[in-house]
Structure 1
């Protein structure tokens, strides 16, 4: 009778992924954010992997976790392996769907900058299927299934436009706001993520004015823009996100002076030469007709 002894089980892949993310990002919380799971789930996965390996991979300390000697030794190989897996997944996606492009973008960028351009992009590239996912944080393009990411930052692979901020409002409200001092009497709209915009603009453009902006704060910048269009107050605007409303006259800039934030709206690209469909899309997004 043939003997078929059980084969040794390999390490659970999800646990390896949790270890790699926690080690690379410096903690369980950051790993949980990237993997879209709870911190407890990451901790449990790593505990499972440590049980399989028979050795601790992290040292638990009061101020957090640090890699153990074993964790430090194996981390470079694990990172290399997951980078290779990410590259293989990308090749599979491109081979199976060469005309499908998946873009990740900051919600405000997806709604206010990219969305108005999609009809033109579809008309100019009818063979391309474009999907868009809104994310609060830029993805790791070496690991996640996106071809292109559009976010504000200081170190984009390809700059689109420098970020400038300035107040905007409807023409009707603009007739009541003729000086910076008038901001004391109107709601000043702002976004929770860009909470310091008003302070930056006032400090740069009107340091002599004793103005403390007060008004609604929104967790979605697109909602803040919509409320500005409704006449609800004066919004501290990011130029690229309100440009079409300025061009149409729906919004105006009641004061002179725009402040550069030091960031750019830019593209993050995967390493390597983009395939033809993606290269054509990038060229259109950067062209004057699209900007």
Structure 2
């Protein structure tokens, strides 16, 4: 190939192969799809082989591409990891956390003042997003994720397992039929999670055979949206108990039926192994564990 490696072309090929799309690779690299395509074409001309074929669904690796991609992927991964380690060292007392907007607003942010009082020298940055952040390819130190704890290549610590609680606006409850048992929830409009699964599972857990009503109603992908719809009187929302704390305390919502149900998912503190060696990450992880233990 020669002494000078065409790094830009190699990266264009690697990102396209990893993401399966010229457009996605271009967005990742901050260039146009045409520029990525040109770099790959120059690389193929230099190597004398075809690496990718294009079809209506995206791109597909040729036999030569299958040989080249794994080694390149490992190499660029090691480069990114080394740069992240260097960045972690130079950022000193900064701490970047990513989590879901509902968890950030209802649980994490209200408790951060206590952490700041203990460690005023640490600058905390919270990224509240519903998108799953790739910790291997970002400057985020910690992710607080809701899942089953299976995060390949990352270290995870179980924090808390939320329970699902049905909540309703006082006005809607006063206007509707009496609610004394889980079965009665089916007489009200139900506000659904994005997968329309929680109500069915909750009813089954309390001995109620779900029917078609258990999957009807508008759906929302965030507990914050479910809570706002419930406070507006649109129906009963089944949400994580800690997300409803403020609304219950203020009286905007009340518990429809006091039958909380444990979720099989939990919140985990997730980080790269190298990130856990940083002092700000270590003290935050310890503080967070103490917070969870004191409230359980």
**Alignment TM class, shorter chain as reference:** 0.7 to 0.9
2:21 alignment partner, one of 28, 38, 60: 28
- TM-score, with length taken from structure 1: 0.78
Q: Secondary structure at the match of 1:119?
A: helix
Q: Secondary structure at the match of 2:264?
A: strand
Cα distance in 1 for partners of 2:128, 2:27 equals 14
Structure 1 counterpart of 2:243: 241
Task: Specify whether residues 106 and 209 from structure 1 end up closer, same or farther in structure 2 by C-alpha distance, changes over 3 A only.
Answer: closer
Q: Is 200-209 or 123-132 further displaced after alignment?
A: 200-209
Structure 2 counterpart of 1:56: 50
Cα distance in 2 for partners of 1:259, 1:65 equals 45
Cα distance in 2 for partners of 1:37, 1:197 equals 39
- TM-score, with length taken from structure 2: 0.77
1:127 alignment partner, one of 116, 121, 128: 121
Aligned pair 1:282/2:285, yes or no? yes
Cα distance in 1 for partners of 2:230, 2:184 equals 16
Unaligned segments of structure 1, at least 5 residues = 1-6
Task: String of CA shifts for 1:75-102, please: whole Å, max 9, x gaps.
Answer: 2332222222222322332232211111
Q: How does 1:121-160 map to 2 (within 5 A)?
A: 121-154=115-148, 155-156=150-151, 157-160=156-159
Q: Secondary structure at the match of 1:201?
A: helix
CA contact (8 A) 1:18 1:31 kept: no
Task: Specify whether residues 20 and 228 from structure 1 end up closer, same or farther in structure 2 by C-alpha distance, changes over 3 A only.
Answer: same
Task: Specify whether residues 185 and 136 from structure 1 end up closer, same or farther in structure 2 by C-alpha distance, changes over 3 A only.
Answer: same
Shift of 1:37: 7.6
Structure 2 counterpart of 1:4: none
Task: String of CA shifts for 1:125-162, please: whole Å, max 9, x gaps.
Answer: 21111112233332221211111111212115111122
Structure 1 counterpart of 2:225: 223
Task: Specify whether residues 235 and 75 from structure 1 end up closer, same or farther in structure 2 by C-alpha distance, changes over 3 A only.
Answer: same
Cα distance in 2 for partners of 1:164, 1:36 equals 41
CA contact (8 A) 1:190 1:217 kept: yes
Shift of 1:17: 4.2
Q: Is 277-286 or 199-208 further displaced after alignment?
A: 199-208
Cα distance in 2 for partners of 1:37, 1:106 equals 26
User: RMSD value over aligned CA atoms?
Assistant: 3.5
CA contact (8 A) 1:187 1:216 kept: no
Cα distance in 2 for partners of 1:267, 1:33 equals 31
Shift of 1:191: 3.6
Structure 1 counterpart of 2:184: 182
Shift of 1:173: 5.0
Structure 1 counterpart of 2:36: 45
Q: Secondary structure at the match of 2:137?
A: coil
More helix by share: 2
Structure 1 counterpart of 2:209: 208
